[in-house]
């Protein structure tokens, strides 16, 4: 994937709200989601963000506004789930992106026809944008792994395999929800020292700042995806919150890893930013020279040159008290995806090296994307050192772990001189009281 006319930072849209320079959704972005109007029984369908509007792809399909050369892609983008579009090739995705870019530019002949296909984002609600058949969560931040490891193994925080193999586990696809869907505090088996375990609500509830990677076209079962082909099998990225019950996790995770501590809820942002939109923000992938270098199946020249992504990521918290006082969420973390120890291509290559077949719409979580300093930590477990050092908020409140009524908000964006700022929107959810066990 290379820079092309759709990335031109000088492009302007006839949708004026896309031209502010601060919008997450300028014409250089054009991410996909599934939406419908609020308080409406109409069907969900695919849409594309432009400024503060959603371009209704079902309306575009019905009006046959775009060229017949991309009609198959338009049909797929109009569906209630985007798996068919995801299952196409990079060539198909790129052609649709180019057609949308040209039709939405200032002065485009399609302006009059497309104006009737716009719906204000303020008037819509979203659904999970694909049928997610499988969900795998990785552990790609060496800083997060080290910070967490120090809590349990101060002299040997990283396991021997960490710098050799992308560590992951299979999560629960059925409990993935779109931003804005709140969830109940989970119950689970918890054991305090010197007493028998009990079933009770989690009291060490945490968030994890991640990105989600949607699989595109499938590989045949039994066939690995090589590094040079891996990104052709990635449709795009979103924001992801891997909610975690730390006290449940501590008791259950050995010997087979997380189970009930992770499968109760995962929150994702509604918009999928395509890999092509992110081309201007690719950056070199390097390892410290004294670290093990990736094995050959996890290495390529292209990955070394531009395998990493510089996506700025933030975490903010809005407590119940803040909400009652009309205060916005308070930012507590800012970091970047560029700090990841393993790249997107490496995750895909490793996931399939044994012949595992990825399907369109499968979701890969990056794992918590902490940076090298504590103000870049992506989980309360790190910030509070396992609950020993409370996080102080500006209104006088403090947190070791999350309380009922706390809302967590992630945002993500890319910007640099000479390129248009593009964003991912947000992923937000509020913790509700546990159900009676």
pLDDT tens across 227-245, in order?
A: 999 999 999 999 999 999 9
Gap between the Cα atoms of 246 and 368, Å rounded: 14
Q: Cβ(96)–Cβ(32) under 8 Å?
A: no
How much is the mean pLDDT over the chain? 97
- Looking at residue 1, its pLDDT comes to 81
pLDDT tens across 361-403, in order?
A: 999 999 999 999 999 999 999 999 999 999 999 999 999 999 9
255 preceded by a cis bond (ω within 30 of 0): yes
Question: Tokens for 356?
Answer: 């595992």
Catalytically annotated residue among 7, 143, 144, 351: 144
- Looking at residue 436, its pLDDT comes to 84
**What residues form DSSP beta bridges with 127?**
34
- Looking at residue 264, its pLDDT comes to 98
Gap between the Cα atoms of 427 and 178, Å rounded: 8
Tokens 């002299």 belong to which residue? 155
- Looking at residue 100, its pLDDT comes to 98
- Looking at residue 434, its pLDDT comes to 98
* Model confidence, pTM: 0.97
- Looking at residue 39, its pLDDT comes to 84
92 is catalytic: no
Averages of pLDDT over runs of 10 residues in the chain (437 residues) are: 95 98 98 95 97 98 97 98 98 98 98 98 98 97 95 91 97 98 98 95 98 98 98 98 97 92 98 98 95 97 98 98 98 97 98 98 98 97 97 98 98 97 98 91
- Looking at residue 67, its pLDDT comes to 96
All domains of the chain in start order, with CATH: 5-127 (2.30.30.230), 135-432 (3.90.850.10)
Gap between the Cα atoms of 7 and 9, Å rounded: 6
């Amino acid at each position: 994937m290379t820079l092309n006319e759709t990335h031109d930072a000088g492009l302007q849209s006839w949708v004026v709200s896309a031209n502010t320079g601060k919008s997450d959704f300028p014409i250089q972005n054009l991410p996909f989601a599934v939406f419908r109007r609020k308080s409406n029984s109409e069907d969900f369908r695919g849409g594309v963000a432009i400024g503060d509007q959603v371009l209704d792809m079902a309306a575009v399909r019905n009006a046959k506004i775009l060229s017949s050369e991309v009609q198959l892609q338009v049909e797929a983008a109009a569906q209630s789930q985007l798996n068919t579009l995801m299952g196409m090739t990079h060539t198909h995705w790129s052609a649709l992106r180019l057609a949308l870019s040209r039709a939405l530019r200032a002065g485009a002949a399609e302006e009059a026809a497309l104006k009737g296909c716009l719906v204000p984002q303020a008037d819509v609600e979203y659904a999970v944008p694909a049928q997610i058949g499988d969900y795998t969560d990785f552990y790609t931040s060496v800083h997060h792994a080290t910070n967490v490891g120090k809590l349990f193994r101060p002299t040997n925080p990283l396991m021997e395999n960490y710098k050799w193999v992308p560590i992951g586990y299979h999560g629960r696809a059925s409990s993935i929800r779109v931003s804005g869907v709140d969830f109940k505090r989970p119950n689970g088996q918890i054991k305090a020292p010197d007493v028998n375990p009990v079933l009770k609500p989690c009291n060490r509830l945490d968030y994890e700042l991640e990105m989600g990677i949607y699989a595109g076209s499938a590989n045949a079962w039994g066939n690995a995806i090589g590094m040079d082909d891996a990104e052709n099998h990635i449709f795009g990225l979103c924001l992801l919150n891997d909610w975690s019950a730390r006290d449940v996790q501590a008791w259950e995770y050995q010997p087979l890893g997380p189970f009930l501590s992770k499968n109760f809820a995962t929150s994702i942002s509604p918009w999928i930013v395509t890999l092509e939109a992110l081309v201007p923000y690719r950056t070199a992938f390097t390892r410290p020279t004294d670290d093990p270098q990736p094995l050959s199946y996890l290495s390529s020249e292209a990955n070394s040159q531009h395998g990493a992504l510089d996506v700025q990521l933030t975490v903010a918290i809005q407590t119940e008290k803040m909400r009652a006082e009309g205060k916005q969420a308070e930012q507590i973390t800012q970091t970047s995806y560029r700090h990841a120890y393993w790249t997107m291509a490496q995750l895909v290559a490793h996931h399939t090296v044994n012949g595992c077949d990825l399907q369109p719409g499968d979701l890969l979580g990056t794992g918590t994307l902490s940076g090298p300093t504590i103000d870049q930590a992506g989980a309360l477990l790190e910030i509070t050192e396992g609950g020993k050092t409370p996080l102080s908020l500006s209104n006088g409140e403090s947190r070791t772990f999350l309380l009922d009524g706390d809302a967590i908000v992630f945002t993500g964006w890319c910007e640099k001189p000479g390129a248009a700022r593009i964003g991912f929107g947000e992923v937000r959810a509020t913790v509700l009281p546990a159900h009676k066990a």
